[in-house]
Each structure stands twice: as structure tokens, then as C-alpha cells.
């Protein structure tokens, strides 16, 4: 791929409003933007979407920065990487750290597609021109105000972050505003085996799904719950790689899988999970990480694949930020977002604003 150098920028984007789950609150979104530049000056962009603290997974921005700078970059023979899909195999010697890997691989995919003069969606075999969008409502959101606005904008699926014991009140609050809205709840693994009866009692609520009720990796409890309810269980944090997806499907631990590029280690793994689920008739949808337009553009390419049949966490650029680092931003029309067709991820990075929000930079020359 004729790589000349990498540039890593830690950025800080203020949120329009705090984003809160039972695990923690984010008021300013810090991210790592990855730039890979070839010998002709062409750039590819990726994004590391880890958080500052390990409340979602064990990774943080600090650990990702360290693994990228001190382990991944100096260990690889970059001249031997001719296709982005080979990156995963060459970095398998590093246990875990999928978000650090996904940021680099994303930049490689963008550069590779640009060098071909094709959109990333086309390169990976996507077929959709538009993808349906869903909205996430955090615990700090004003339900009535936000739902009214999100309905006007056309979002087609609503995910509620919930706290144990307060789920019914949250669902009823939404249903009182509009009982026709498709609602799912996201538990982020806060339940235990002692809560099985409580979870079963939610089955009559008519939810589109319950996402990640038990701890990551607990395929047994998810299997036991799915056997007792008709509401589909969706796994999120439990699916860290292709093998996890295979286990979940073979054990019948869920009926839906949420695929996040950064959580599974990159687009190569994400597509493999999609393909496996397609073969086994398990619907998937694309999850979000309160990320910038760079990561959103990667998500749109992924969500253009055939089996992404459920509206994902694919929000517009203005959903969380006053200003995105791409220009123009990603926009929502009638409940869906257009999949970029320009080469690579198909969006233009606002270099001036990117520099403005950058707090730390590291350059690695090949």
C-alpha cells in the first residue's frame, strides 16, 4: 500500500448534552483520529472509539494510545501489508485491544478504497444506497422533548438506556408519548441470574429486543433467558470477535447481534460476523459509540451490507455534537442516511477544525 507515515491525533469534541448510562456519564467525547498517508500524499482515516475510563470494555484511550505507539506500529513490517484484511492476522500476536486495532485498520480500508477510486461500501460488497437510522436515548435525556424532535427527524427505532428496577417506568414514559414507537432497551450487562424472573416479566412489554442483559461472555444465562421469552435478545459486549458470534448462534444465546466495528477489532472481523449471521439467518444491526463523522462513515459502509436489516445507531452529525470534524456533516432524511459513494469512506475531513480540537499528536514514519 506504499505507506509513508501514520499520524495519530487525540481530539476533544464537546457534547451538546451529557450522555449517561448506568455505567457512567460522558460530557466531552475524546477520540483518537488515525491518519495513514501513502507516498503520493493520499490519506486514509480511521478512529479509535474507546472511552476515557473502562466502563464499556477494558480498553481506554490511554491504553489504546500506548498499544498503538509502543506495540503495534514498531512491530509490523508495513511494506508487507498489501490489503487491509491482512492487518488482523499480522496483529494477532497482540491479545485483545480491538479498538486500537480497529482504528488503524479503518484508516487502511479508507486509503485502500481511495487508491482504487471506489467507495468503501462498494469495495466490501455493500448494496444499499441508504440505511435506516435509529436513535439512542441516554439516562440524561429529556424523553418528551427528545422524542418529539427525533420523531420529526424520522428515526425509525428507539433504544432506551435503562437502570435496573426502572425499566417499566422508562418504557411506559415513551409509550405514553407515542405507543406506536418501536422500543428496545439496552441493559449494558447490569443483570445477574437473580434477575431472571424480573427480565422474564418484561416479555409482555412488546419490546423489539433486550440488548445485553447479562455480563459480557455469559452465553449460558443469555441462552436460559432466550428460552423463556419471545422478545429477541441482542448481544453487544459479548461479541468481541468472530468466535464469540459463532458461540452465541450455536448456543442459541440470542436472536439478534449488534456489530460494532471498533468492538470486534475492525471492518474485516465485522464483515465476517455479518456473513456468518447471514448464513444462519440471524439479523444484525450496526451499533454506535458516540463517535465522529469519520467513524460514522465507516459504519454506513458496513450497514450497507445485505443482512443489516434493523435500523442501527446511525445518527446524523448533529445528534451529539454542535460541530463534527467532517464537512458537510452526515444528515438524516426521512429516517435514513445516504451511504457515501465518493472514494473511500466518502466524506471530507475538516482539517482546520480537526487541528483546532486536537490535544495531542504522534507521527510514526515508515
Residues assigned a catalytic role: 161, 260
d(C-alpha 346, C-alpha 335), whole Å: 20
Between β-strands 256-259 and 284-286, what pairing exists: parallel, antiparallel or unpaired?
parallel
Closest CA to 3 of 33, 39, 27, 28: 39
Specify whether the CB–CB gap between 177 and 158 falls below 8 A.
Answer: no
Angle at 160 between CA 263 and CA 186, to 5 degrees: 40
Per-position DSSP letters for 128-139, written without gaps between them: -SEEEB-EEE-T
Q: What's the grid cell of residue 164? A: 435496573
| Non-local CB neighbours of 19 within 8 Å, separated by 6+ positions | 25, 26, 27, 138, 140, 290, 320
> Are 95 and 265 a contacting pair, CB within 8 Å?
no
Task: Report whether 345 contacts 303 (CB < 8 A).
Answer: no
Number of alpha carbons in the 13 Å side-chain half-sphere of residue 180: 3
Amino acid at each position: 500500500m506504499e505507506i509513508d507515515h501514520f499520524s495519530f491525533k487525540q481530539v476533544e469534541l464537546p457534547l451538546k448534552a451529557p450522555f449517561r448510562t448506568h455505567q457512567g456519564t460522558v460530557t466531552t467525547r475524546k477520540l483518537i483520529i488515525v491518519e495513514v498517508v501513502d507516498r503520493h500524499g493520499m490519506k486514509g482515516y480511521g478512529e479509535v472509539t474507546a472511552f476515557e475510563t473502562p466502563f464499556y470494555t477494558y480498553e481506554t484511550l490511554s491504553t489504546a494510545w500506548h498499544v498503538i505507539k509502543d506495540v503495534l506500529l514498531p512491530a509490523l513490517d508495513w511494506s508487507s501489508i498489501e490489503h487491509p484484511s491482512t492487518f488482523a492476522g499480522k496483529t494477532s500476536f497482540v491479545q485483545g485491544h480491538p479498538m486500537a486495532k480497529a482504528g488503524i485498520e479503518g484508516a487502511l480500508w479508507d486509503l485502500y478504497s481511495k487508491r482504487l477510486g471506489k467507495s468503501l461500501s462498494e469495495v466490501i460488497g455493500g448494496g444499499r444506497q441508504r440505511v435506516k437510522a435509529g436513535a439512542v436515548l441516554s439516562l440524561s435525556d429529556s424523553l418528551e422533548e427528545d422524542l418529539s424532535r427525533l420523531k420529526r427527524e424520522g428515526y425509525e427505532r428507539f433504544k432506551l438506556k435503562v437502570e435496573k428496577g426502572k425499566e417499566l417506568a422508562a418504557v411506559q414514559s415513551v409509550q405514553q408519548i407515542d405507543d406506536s414507537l418501536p422500543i428496545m432497551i439496552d441493559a449494558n450487562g447490569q443483570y445477574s441470574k437473580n434477575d431472571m424472573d424480573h427480565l422474564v416479566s418484561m416479555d409482555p412489554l412488546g419490546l423489539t429486543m433486550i440488548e445485553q442483559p447479562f455480563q459480557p461472555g455469559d452465553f449460558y444465562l443469555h441462552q436460559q433467558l432466550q428460552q423463556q421469552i419471545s422478545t429477541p435478545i441482542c448481544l453487544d459486549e459479548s461479541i468481541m470477535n468472530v468466535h464469540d458470534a459463532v458461540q452465541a448462534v450455536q448456543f442459541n444465546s440470542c436472536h439478534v447481534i449488534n456489530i460494532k466495528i471498533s468492538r470486534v477489532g475492525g471492518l474485516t472481523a465485522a464483515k465476517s460476523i455479518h456473513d456468518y449471521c447471514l448464513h444462519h439467518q440471524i439479523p444484525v444491526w450496526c451499533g454506535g459509540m458516540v463517535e465522529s463523522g469519520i467513524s460514522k462513515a465507516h459504519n454506513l459502509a458496513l450497514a450497507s451490507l445485505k443482512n443489516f436489516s434493523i435500523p442501527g445507531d446511525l445518527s446524523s452529525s448533529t445528534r451529539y455534537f454542535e460541530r463534527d470534524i467532517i464537512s458537510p456533516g452526515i444528515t438524516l432524511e426521512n429516517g435514513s442516511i445516504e451511504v457515501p459513494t465518493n472514494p473511500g469512506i466518502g466524506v471530507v475531513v475538516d482539517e482546520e477544525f480537526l487541528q483546532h480540537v486536537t490535544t495531542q499528536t504522534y507521527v510514526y514514519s515508515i
